[in-house]
Structure 1
Amino acid sequence: MRMMWIEIAKYSDGKSLVKLASTCNWFNKVVTEECVWKYACLCDLGIPDPGDVSFKWKNIYASAFDGTHSYLFRQHEKHIEWFRVGAFFLESPAAVLTGKLTFPRRIEDTIEKMLEFSGLCEITNIKTGIWIADLQLLHCPVCGLNSCDGTMLVLDARHFELFLSQGYQNGSWNFREVGSHEIKGVVDVASGAIIDLEHLKDAATAEIFKTETWFGKGNDLLPEAKTTLHAVAVNTNKLVHNDGLKVKFHIMRAGTGTVEPIVAIRISQHLL
């Protein structure tokens, strides 16, 4: 009987499991099985099994769905609003970051050339597996005044185990800038994307660049987002009058050095 209910519970989402666990002690024990929370997490994220993990699946589920976001840990005074974009899978340790959604004809030889000609930034030594993406709205960092009406958008992505890592929790892991790019002239939209480099030319990834299918229409001011198995992208329409857009790329490593794997990525954008 117990094994049968465990198999049934595997097909339930997290909210249903919490309700089931509250009915009686017997069901509470059923719900504590690791495999139950593993399937709930993968189902609710819509992502394949990543293989071995470093933490209990129940804790991973909680860190993904308890409403926590990265700016609650640090810089909360700059934070205004956020929404969950979704999850994607970085299968290879290399990714392309971009601040504009035009499909690149070729990948340049160096980061400097990519930034100059395409607004792209390639990063390597990424921790593979499931990544979770949020869109954050912050006070603009140019003047540093919380009273300023200026805002900045950040595509904020993290490895799904990041919030449970001690180095992240105690603040010893920090972001550093790896590139920036300016889009000259008046811009109407602000976009950003993170794409698994090995899957850049996949048919599913190409949907990211078909902006007419998912960008907001007309006077729709709400941000839009698109996820595929190996990529995530966001876009905001109808920007206020400007002279261009400043895009910055930041990464966080799982340590204080320069060789540890990348566990978090941010693409920030503010108007010039």
Structure 2
Amino acid sequence: MRPCFARTRHLTQYMGKAISLLRPPPPPPEQPPRASGMMELRKRPRPRLLDPDFVSSPPPTPPRKRPAAAADPAPRKRAKLCGSYYIGSPVVGLQPTRCCRLPVARVSFIPRSRVPFNWYEPDMWTEVAKYLHGADLVHLAATCHWFRHLLFGEDSIWCYAFFRDLSLRTDDPRILKLLIPRPYHRSWRLLYVNAFNNTHAYCFRQPKKHIEWFRIGGFLMDTSRMLLTATLALPRGMPPADENPRFSISLTGACLLTNVRPGIWIADMHMVRCPVCNFKKCKGTMQVLEARHCELYLEKKFKDGTWEYEDLGNHFSDGPLDNAGAAIFNCDHIHTPHIGNILNAKSWIRERSNLLPRARFTPIAVAMNSNLKPNHGLLSKFKAMRYSKDGEIVSVRITQQLL
């Protein structure tokens, strides 16, 4: 009987499990009716992002419980901070560092967006352009429209290059006192092109007589008084400022011009074939010290031959001479150290055996010198070109002919 009772009990248990599996699932809980055409939105929990290389800053430390006032009536001294606090490193594996400051409760590292580097920075390229020659500036402007707009639109770049290539040191405090006038209705870019395109006065007139030339430099005329001399020395007395300087030129070899156009002047030295003259001992060549206003070549009347050079006078030096020199000075700055650099000829002229000409210039004066072979004298001619018949003088020449 026992085996039959045990089988019946096991069978009843299995039957109960089977019946429970066959029961239908309970109905879901009642939900509020949804509007037709609406989509149900469910929020899904986002997984927490963990970076194995970085760990967030440590949690804040709980505040310390201060003892009651009765337990510690004496004032407590402030403990030393150095050596007692640490700052945890955000990188796993690095040792903490000591700090003498109080520990920060919580530090948040906020990344800041940085502006990406821009290759087209006007201020940067304006500074770079100051170290380029005029031909390089033109080549850079031909690369794209942005550089063309920058280099041809920014006139200060060409002004800087103009003074730099003329070796006018505008950082000198004495030169800053001089007035640097702006061109008359011109741009610095046009002035640079006309000053450094290898053109000279003899290209427009008498090109067959010209042999060679070289650029001396530039100087400033902040006044209308200019002193011309046929020697590397100042006259004992200042020549009179009259309209006819022939007498002072023939007597002292110097003249004072009082109607000169202020501005930037450019000086050149030329070797020219001697024109037909009555001197039988002429060697056939002569040297010319020419100074002109920087805007002369932009005038149409100069190019078409309307403006001509007029003779101011001649000075003849009789007897054999060792050298031939000429100078042009800004008359209002005769007593400055710049004039002394010109008059100290022994410091810059060549040796007696060297016959090559040499020039020297300062911001307010210019001079040239050439050693001569055995000769019988020197003829110096002074010439000037005026803006009109009685207008301002825009160019001067000192021609020296060896006899």
Task: State the secondary structure of the residue aligned to 1:264.
Answer: strand
Is contact 2:349–2:358 with CA below 8 Å preserved after alignment? yes
- Aligned-partner residue type, residue 43 of structure 1: R
Match of 1:25 among 145, 149, 158: 145
The yes-or-no answer on 1:36 pairing with 2:166 is: no
- Tell me what 2:265 maps to: 131
The yes-or-no answer on 1:214 pairing with 2:348 is: yes
| Structure possessing the higher radius of gyration over alpha carbons | 2
Using the TM superposition, give the Cα deviation of residue 185 of structure 1 relative to its aligned residue in structure 2, in angstroms.
Answer: 0.5
How many Å separate the matches in 1 of 2:326 and 2:266? 15
Match of 1:50 among 170, 180, 186: 180
Task: State the secondary structure of the residue aligned to 1:236.
Answer: strand
- Tell me what 2:385 maps to: 252
Residues matched between the structures, number: 266
1:203 to 1:161, Cα distance in 2 relative to 1, 3 A:
same
Using the TM superposition, give the Cα deviation of residue 149 of structure 1 relative to its aligned residue in structure 2, in angstroms.
Answer: 5.8
- Tell me what 2:81 maps to: none
- Tell me what 2:208 maps to: 77
How many Å separate the matches in 2 of 1:94 and 1:50? 16
How many Å separate the matches in 2 of 1:102 and 1:123? 17
Indicate the larger mover: 13-22 or 240-249. 13-22
Using the TM superposition, give the Cα deviation of residue 217 of structure 1 relative to its aligned residue in structure 2, in angstroms.
Answer: 1.2
Task: State the secondary structure of the residue aligned to 1:75.
Answer: coil
Is contact 1:81–1:136 with CA below 8 Å preserved after alignment? yes
Indicate the larger mover: 38-47 or 133-142. 38-47
- Aligned-partner residue type, residue 40 of structure 1: A
Match of 1:190 among 324, 336, 354: 324
- Aligned-partner residue type, residue 379 of structure 2: K
The yes-or-no answer on 1:86 pairing with 2:217 is: yes
How many Å separate the matches in 1 of 2:211 and 2:259? 31
Deviations along 1:190-222, whole A, 9 cap, x unmatched? 111110111122111111110011101131121
How many Å separate the matches in 2 of 1:2 and 1:265? 44
The yes-or-no answer on 1:101 pairing with 2:232 is: yes
Task: State the secondary structure of the residue aligned to 1:158.
Answer: strand
How many Å separate the matches in 2 of 1:23 and 1:108? 55
Task: State the secondary structure of the residue aligned to 1:77.
Answer: coil
How many Å separate the matches in 2 of 1:138 and 1:113? 27
- Tell me what 2:48 maps to: none
Is contact 2:250–2:314 with CA below 8 Å preserved after alignment? no
How many Å separate the matches in 1 of 2:237 and 2:336? 15
Task: State the secondary structure of the residue aligned to 2:208.
Answer: helix
Is contact 2:246–2:312 with CA below 8 Å preserved after alignment? no
- Aligned-partner residue type, residue 135 of structure 1: M
- Aligned-partner residue type, residue 164 of structure 2: C
How many Å separate the matches in 1 of 2:151 and 2:124? 9
The yes-or-no answer on 1:118 pairing with 2:248 is: no
Indicate the larger mover: 36-45 or 164-173. 36-45
How many Å separate the matches in 1 of 2:310 and 2:151? 40
How many Å separate the matches in 2 of 1:253 and 1:50? 21
Structure 1: 5+ residue stretches without partners:
none
**What is the TM-score normalised by the length of structure 2?**
0.62
Task: Report the aligned-residue RMSD.
Answer: 2.0
- Tell me what 2:91 maps to: none
1:158 to 1:11, Cα distance in 2 relative to 1, 3 A:
same
Using the TM superposition, give the Cα deviation of residue 241 of structure 1 relative to its aligned residue in structure 2, in angstroms.
Answer: 2.9
Using the TM superposition, give the Cα deviation of residue 124 of structure 1 relative to its aligned residue in structure 2, in angstroms.
Answer: 1.4
Q: Of Structure 1 and Structure 2, which has the larger fraction of its residues in strand?
A: 1
How many Å separate the matches in 1 of 2:352 and 2:373? 15
- Aligned-partner residue type, residue 191 of structure 1: G
How many Å separate the matches in 2 of 1:10 and 1:199? 34
